């Protein structure tokens, strides 16, 4: 199986960093392109104040500007040594956008981190990761934050490798 494109959904957390590191290691082996995607949860999808037309548009514009700047900083720091990458910021519901983007871009794999938060049915995975795994047409690599995993195993702090 040849990997040409690897999608890495990014929420700027340590989990995203861990997934990106894993994706870069795999991408180097296959000379694949990394597509980093951040999805802004559109406030129009939320109830209450943020759903109002005027407030929602202004809040969303600020969120979009902030997310774009954060993605540029994230990529500048995390992807500067791997030139075959592209970064995207999209609005919408995260799992839906990740799946649609993966299909549209014809990615060969999705590498994503997980926070592991949620109810009993999501004991090991987050809800976004769970939905992506269940609905993706391509393989999904789930990466748990190495710092958190090491801390959970030995009860202490893991060494920082950034």
Does pLDDT of 56 surpass 70?
no
Mean pLDDT of the chain: 82
Per DSSP (E only), the strands in the chain are 5-9, 33-40, 85-91, 109-114, 140-144
Please report the domains of the chain, with CATH numbers, ordered by start residue.
5-154 (3.40.50.620)
Q: What is the DSSP string of 118-145?
A: SSGGGSSS-HHHHHHHHH-SS-EEEEE-
Could you give the C-alpha distances from 98 to 22, 48, 73, in angstroms and in order?
18, 26, 21
**Tokens at residue 54, please?**
């005027």
CA 91 to chain CA centroid, Å, is 13
Least confident interval from 12-26, 31-45, 140-154:
140-154
Question: How long, in residues, is the chain?
Answer: 162
Give the residue, 51 or 90, on which the prediction is more confident.
90
* pLDDT tens digits along 111-142: 999 876 655 544 545 688 889 999 999 999 99
* pLDDT tens digits along 68-126: 999 999 999 999 889 999 999 999 889 999 999 999 999 999 999 987 665 554 454 56
């Amino acid at each position: 199986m040849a990997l040409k494109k690897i999608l890495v959904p990014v929420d700027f957390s340590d989990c995203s960093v861990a997934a990106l590191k894993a994706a870069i290691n795999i991408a180097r082996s296959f000379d694949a392109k990394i597509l980093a995607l951040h999805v802004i949860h559109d406030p129009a999808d939320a109830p209450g104040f943020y759903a109002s037309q005027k407030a929602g548009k202004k809040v969303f514009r600020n969120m979009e500007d902030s997310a774009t700047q954060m993605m540029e900083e994230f990529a500048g720091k995390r992807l500067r040594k791997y030139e075959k990458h592209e970064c995207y910021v999209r609005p919408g519901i995260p799992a839906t956008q990740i799946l649609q983007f993966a299909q549209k871009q014809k990615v060969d794999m999705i590498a994503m981190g997980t926070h592991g938060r949620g109810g009993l049915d999501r004991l090991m995975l987050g809800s976004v990761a769970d939905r992506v795994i269940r609905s993706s047409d391509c393989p999904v690599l789930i990466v748990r934050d190495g710092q958190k995993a090491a801390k959970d195993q030995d009860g202490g702090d893991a060494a920082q490798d950034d």
